[in-house]
Structure 1
Amino acid sequence: MSDPMAHVHLIHQLWQRIDAQPSRPALRWQEANQWMSMNWLELGDQVCRCADAINLSHYIHKAHIGIFSRNMPQWTLADLAILAAGHASVPVYPTNTLEQTRYILKDAGVRVLFVGEIEQYHSALELLDEGTLDQIITFDVPRHEIDHPKAISFEDFCQLANAGYMNRTRAVTAKQSTDELLTLIYTSGTTGEPKGVMLDYANFGAAFEMHDQRIRVTEKDVSLAMLPLSHIFERAWHHYILYRGGEVVYIRDPQSVMDVIETVQPTCMCSVPRLYEKAYAMIHGRLEQASWFRKALFRWATQVGEAEFDAQVKGVQTGWIHRLKHKIADRLVLRKVRARFGGRTRLLPAGGARLADDVNCFFQAMGMNIIHGFGLSETTATVTCYPGPQFEMGSIGTPLDGIDVKIASDGEMLVKGPTVMRGYFNKPEATAEAFTEDGYFRTGDAGIRNEYGTLFFTERLKELMKTSNGKYIAPQRVEGAISKDPMIEQIAVIADARHFVSALIVPCYTSLEAYAIEKGIQFRAVSDLLDHEAIQDYVRQRIQAVQQELAKFEQVKQFTLLPQAFCMTRGEITPTQKLRRKVIESRFYQEIDAMYTSSPMAR
């Protein structure tokens, strides 16, 4: 039976948007402190030029072409051009190490790579010289730096297109079907080896249709692309905005989002919970410095906002006294908080980690419509999200229409639907393991469902960790890198739902004592050394030296030295020396919390 949603094709829809609204803004970005924009007609011209240049330069049928860059308009232009040329795009995180990038490009068979800035360019040059790549196309690298015969700027590359490029490109895309591969999204497994998630046009088309039934986006919407486009969440959302004819605004550095958001004034923006956690902490930190009157006013207004939000959730009408209070609270306090986010936000999808109820409730009270949900790369992002104003706090919402979620005997959430991937590229065994006999995808995450069909996330069954910034951490990879140092006997990485990676470390006590004696550090027992500043600095330097092969977001930022080793007697390790992470995190919860509350990183 054919899928009724499969008729939506991303590139076919692109031409329709260009024809329907050629002069409306499509992309906006900052360049030399000036805001630049591109309308739909210009976008179409650039996409067709680049697509024609790709097909004139490379004759491999349905090739895999990589994009290794931070967010910028050229990212989107290259992505759409790759698709319009009949190929599939392979995003690579701009912060990936050379080793990680090499693995992905080799596994995917990428020979042509679009790169962003000088840092990615230098990595790509090494891969070019060793024979992994055939050509590099740069987005934002100074021309005088492009000194390799197989490297070319994006602008010069697009000029390779021949006359008639637009009609020729449209003719190519007219033959495309929804069952063709659109992209390979690489996501790490528990061993740290990336797996290429195969998503086709039908997956994205189904996701678009399902979102149309849950939310409403129009050509008047402006979305600020804060998350990396190499992440499925931003990628799928960004394509959805373009599918609906909206405008996408780019910022290269997500850390600067609060510096530009008031200027951009987005109506929607997807993000990870960490953004709201930081904003919540900042607002309440400033509140502590305010006068007693301002504190009282803010708390009163927040309570009024919470009452308004509670009424919306329950679907009840409020009286005129409450409506008057809410109007006053909004004028004096609530709208000022919304103004800090641009003042026009109406849709704020959030996912990638758990959103704390108190943070969620606070911003809902301010009138900010955060739509929290659950999804994976393997499901083209969203599986569940809040269905509307009526939702239960702490939940991950209900499945999108057309997606079937069932709970296995061990609590694992299993998913079936048209947005689920076709499998992992070049990994038939991993693909087989990822699905049940009756075709449900194993999410690796446990959940429960209440009597109304609302889902609640309970725990991560897979050992793969995800930070509150939405970054995946394979703990064995990090632990393996740091354990290379002989000073480290045992290590347990902490990262899940935290905003940076930390570690509990059992050092080699003999080596530690020897170093202390060499440096003239006085101690009576090894326990005296663990918190000594010189010892802490010494261990920190050694850790930094052995984790250079890790991406920055994987690297351990804080650590605690333990006075005794993990052992089987206390249930901390198995007979085969594998860590029992839940036991360790439970036993050392005070030490772990201290790393996230009293460290400079936490402040």
Structure 2
Amino acid sequence: LHNLFDELQIEKGEKIAIMGRNTSHWAIAYVAIVTYGGVVVPILPDFKEDEVLNILEHSESVLALMNDKLFAPLENTNIPHLKGIYSLVDFNVLQGENIPQYAEVEKMQPDDLVCNPLPGDVLGVLSYTSGTSGFSKGVMLTAHNLYSNVQFGLDTLTLKKGGEVLSFLPLAHAFGCAFEFLWPFCAGAPIHFVEKIPSPSLLVKAFKEIRPAIIFMVPLIIEKIYKKQLQPVLESPKMRILLRIPILKQFVYKKIRKKLTDTFGGNFYQMIIGGAALNPEVEAFLQKIGFPFTVGYGMTECAPLISYVDWKHFKKQSCGKVVHRMQMKIDSDYAENHVGEILVKGENVMLGYYKNEDATKEVLRKDGWLRTGDLGIIDKSGLLFIRGRSKNMILGASGQNIYPEEIEATVNNVPMIMESVVVDDDEHRIVALVYPDPDYCAEQGWDTAEKIAEQLEDERKNINAQLPAYKQIFKMVVVDTEFEKTPKRSIKRYLYNDYAK
């Protein structure tokens, strides 16, 4: 690939896009671009055609490597500064005139490969976030940003000798790239790539086959397993009786822990959950049974890690402590009690947003502190507790700060509700948009919209009994399809902000 880049007369610092699902060729292309001195532009395979074209144009990519199927919709498009598109499957030419075929390029021997160290402040990756704020921005990550995250993994994360890693989170996303690829690659650990869309059944099969030594997870998958497999068992009359007897309760919890651990291969030291907030009820149950998990916090703008703690020191509803080479503070007078915006500073923080000075100035202060847009507190021991996003915060009718994520956590515990988004109406009243679980409703015989609405009204009253007056839900509104999500499975909240207005 280095020789191919030379023949294409690609200069150091020019952008090369990669678009495909997780494969060894994706990883090889990434390493080839970085070691050549180019800038990687990873494109999430879930992006729509117009988004892909926008990223290729905005990033000024001179070359692209794509999965053949993902290339198909772009076959008849023309991007002036793009020299060509090569296949990630076999590296053959997919598009481009008078450009060399990969098979014709002189092959290198291992001794021919020279990889000069990159200056720490040189641009290494241009990562276009899917985000939940509307428009993708090109996050400029340096070689040092990448190094700092990988070095943290090498220094801190437990990976036993011979341990293997399963890569199923999108490699084009900072979390998956840093900790399911770059860190284990630098640690010399075998990596198994899941190329297909990772459905729960596919993942369970892969976990049992590979038996990874550490697992990186997004909340949605573990929450689905809890809701579909564990919750019905725990709520059965027989189990309720068993759980009232202390000796039997511990025995039951031990059996559940073993079954859940075996589901994920039974060979991992811990599961690190990130990318979105974990449902508090699920988290509390996992802690109750002694499941080895922890919750971290990060963002693409930090490549991605901000805070983490080993599962043995994890505290309920926290997101760990600030990682090495980083600082963190709360923008409030009393960080332990008063919720404020989380600010971070250090070697993980990006250069800024590519060709977007205004957006950069909004989040990067002159003194180097990055405004995360997330709200939280830090306790005396240094543990971070996130309360929500500042953009999502709802101002109550009497001026109270309402964090919709807290209400959604309660709503999502209802068996008949698969997912929800809490918004406000024109009179600042709380409205819960809900997508009912079709399987559960069918099992209960609720086969009409009227029956579902009737049940939801009962649930609304039950939920309100658990909430303070200013947080209570005025009404529930059923949506017909699942909420649209980003590739890391966060709901695109901005699409629903005005739904009740």
SS of 2:128's equivalent?
strand
SS of 1:174's equivalent?
coil
Cα distance in 2, alignment partners of residues 598 and 589 from structure 1: 22
Q: Counterpart in 2 of 1:100?
A: 51
Cα distance in 2, alignment partners of residues 450 and 142 from structure 1: 51
SS of 2:312's equivalent?
coil
Aligned-pair distance for 1:160? 3.8
Cα distance in 1, alignment partners of residues 420 and 56 from structure 2: 27
Aligned AA (1:253): I
Q: Counterpart in 2 of 1:283?
A: 229
Task: Identify which of 219, 241, 262 aligns with 1:273.
Answer: 219
The answer to whether residue 362 in structure 2 is matched with residue 412 in structure 1 is no
- Is the contact between residue 124 and residue 136 of structure 1 (CA under 8 Å) also seen in structure 2? no
Task: Identify which of 386, 389, 395 aligns with 1:460.
Answer: 389
Aligned AA (1:411): G
Q: Counterpart in 2 of 1:90?
A: 41
SS of 1:446's equivalent?
strand
**Range moving further from structure 2, 237-246 or 175-184:** 175-184
Task: Identify which of 358, 367, 370 aligns with 2:293.
Answer: 370
The answer to whether residue 231 in structure 2 is matched with residue 346 in structure 1 is no
C-alpha change, 1:501 and 1:212, in structure 2 (3 Å) is: same
Aligned AA (2:377): I
- Is the contact between residue 86 and residue 94 of structure 2 (CA under 8 Å) also seen in structure 1? no
C-alpha change, 1:271 and 1:132, in structure 2 (3 Å) is: farther
The answer to whether residue 85 in structure 2 is matched with residue 136 in structure 1 is yes
- After superposition, residues 279-428 of structure 1 pair within 5 angstroms as 279-285=225-231, 287=233, 292=238, 296=242, 303-304=249-250, 330=254, 332-409=255-332, 411-428=340-357
Aligned AA (1:169): L
C-alpha change, 1:437 and 1:262, in structure 2 (3 Å) is: same
- After superposition, residues 436-585 of structure 1 pair within 5 angstroms as 436-463=365-392
**Aligned-pair Cα RMSD in Å:** 4.1
Task: Identify which of 133, 141, 146 aligns with 1:204.
Answer: 146
Aligned-pair distance for 1:394? 0.7
The answer to whether residue 198 in structure 2 is matched with residue 254 in structure 1 is yes
The answer to whether residue 38 in structure 2 is matched with residue 115 in structure 1 is no
Cα distance in 1, alignment partners of residues 132 and 221 from structure 2: 26
The answer to whether residue 5 in structure 2 is matched with residue 54 in structure 1 is yes
- Is the contact between residue 218 and residue 245 of structure 1 (CA under 8 Å) also seen in structure 2? no
C-alpha change, 1:289 and 1:140, in structure 2 (3 Å) is: farther
Cα distance in 2, alignment partners of residues 596 and 451 from structure 1: 45
Q: Counterpart in 2 of 1:185?
A: 127
SS of 2:113's equivalent?
helix
Gaps of 5+ in 2: 333-338, 394-406, 413-417, 426-448, 452-469, 486-501
Gaps of 5+ in 1: 1-49, 305-324, 465-494, 507-530, 534-584
TM-score using structure 2 length: 0.73
- Is the contact between residue 219 and residue 247 of structure 1 (CA under 8 Å) also seen in structure 2? no
TM-score using structure 1 length: 0.61
Aligned-pair distance for 1:387? 4.2
Q: Counterpart in 2 of 1:239?
A: 182
Q: Counterpart in 2 of 1:515?
A: none
Aligned AA (1:244): A
Aligned-pair distance for 1:587? 6.9
- Is the contact between residue 351 and residue 375 of structure 1 (CA under 8 Å) also seen in structure 2? yes
Cα distance in 1, alignment partners of residues 349 and 149 from structure 2: 10
Cα distance in 1, alignment partners of residues 163 and 471 from structure 2: 45
